[in-house]
Amino acid sequence: MYRSIAKTFETTILVISMVVFAVATPILSRELPFWGLMLVAGTVFVLVRFFYDYINQRIQGLIKDWFYNRGDTRLLVHFVDRLRFCFTIGDLISAFREILEKHADSTIMFMEMTKRYMVYNSPTIIGMDQHVFDELVRHYESWKDGIYFFDDNLDLVSNHRIGRGFFLVSGNLHCYVFMRFVRNIDKEIFPEIFAEYANFLKRNETIEKMFAIAAVSKEWSMVAETQRAFLPKKLPEIPKVELASYFKPLVNVSGDYYDVLPIDTDRTLLLLGDVSGKGLAAALIMGIVVNTIRIMEKKDELEQVVRTVDGAIKGMKLQDKYTVLFLGLLDTQKMELSYINASMADPLIISETKAGRQIRRLGSNCSVIGILDLDSVGVDTVKLLPGDVILMASDGVSEVSNEQGEMLGDTEGWIDFVVEESRCSAQEFVQKLSDLVITHASGTKLRDDVTVLVAKVQE
Answering whether pTM is above 0.85, one says no
**Do 407 and 446 contact (CB within 8 A), yes or no?**
no
pLDDT of 64-75, one tens digit each?
A: 566 556 667 888
pLDDT of 125-142, one tens digit each?
A: 999 999 999 999 999 988
pLDDT band at 54 (very low <50, low <70, confident <90, very high): confident
At residue 457, the pLDDT reads 96
pLDDT of residue 80 exceeding 70 = yes
At residue 200, the pLDDT reads 92
pLDDT of 433-457, one tens digit each?
A: 999 998 888 867 777 888 999 999 9
C-alpha to C-alpha distance for 12 and 26, rounded to whole angstroms: 22
C-alpha to C-alpha distance for 294 and 292, rounded to whole angstroms: 6
At residue 71, the pLDDT reads 66
By mean pLDDT, which of 27-36, 100-109, 438-447 is the weakest? 27-36
Cβ contacts of residue 6 below 8 Å, gap of 6+? 60, 63, 64
Phi-psi label, residue 453: left if phi above 0, alpha if psi -120 to 50, beta otherwise = beta
At residue 81, the pLDDT reads 86
At residue 252, the pLDDT reads 66
At residue 321, the pLDDT reads 87
pLDDT band at 107 (very low <50, low <70, confident <90, very high): very high
Find the helix packing angle between 426-440 and 413-421, rounded to 10°.
160
Cβ contacts of residue 206 below 8 Å, gap of 6+? 226, 229, 287, 291
C-alpha to C-alpha distance for 243 and 2, rounded to whole angstroms: 40
Closest CA to 272 of 285, 286, 284, 253: 286
Read off the pLDDT of each residue in 410-428 and give the average, rounded to a whole number: 93
At residue 242, the pLDDT reads 97
pLDDT of residue 383 exceeding 60 = yes
C-alpha to C-alpha distance for 450 and 409, rounded to whole angstroms: 14
C-alpha to C-alpha distance for 366 and 376, rounded to whole angstroms: 8
First to last CA, the chain: 47
**Do 210 and 226 contact (CB within 8 A), yes or no?**
yes
pLDDT of residue 218 exceeding 60 = no
At residue 70, the pLDDT reads 62
By mean pLDDT, which of 215-229, 348-362, 427-441 is the weakest? 215-229
Give burial (CB, 10 Å; 0-12/13-18/19+) of 373: exposed
Q: Which secondary structure element, helix H or strand E, spans residue 209, and what is its range?
A: helix 189-212
Which domains, from first to last, does the chain contain?
Answer: 2-68 (no CATH), 73-201 (3.30.450), 235-457 (3.60.40.10)
At residue 94, the pLDDT reads 92
C-alpha to C-alpha distance for 330 and 425, rounded to whole angstroms: 18
pLDDT of residue 247 exceeding 70 = yes
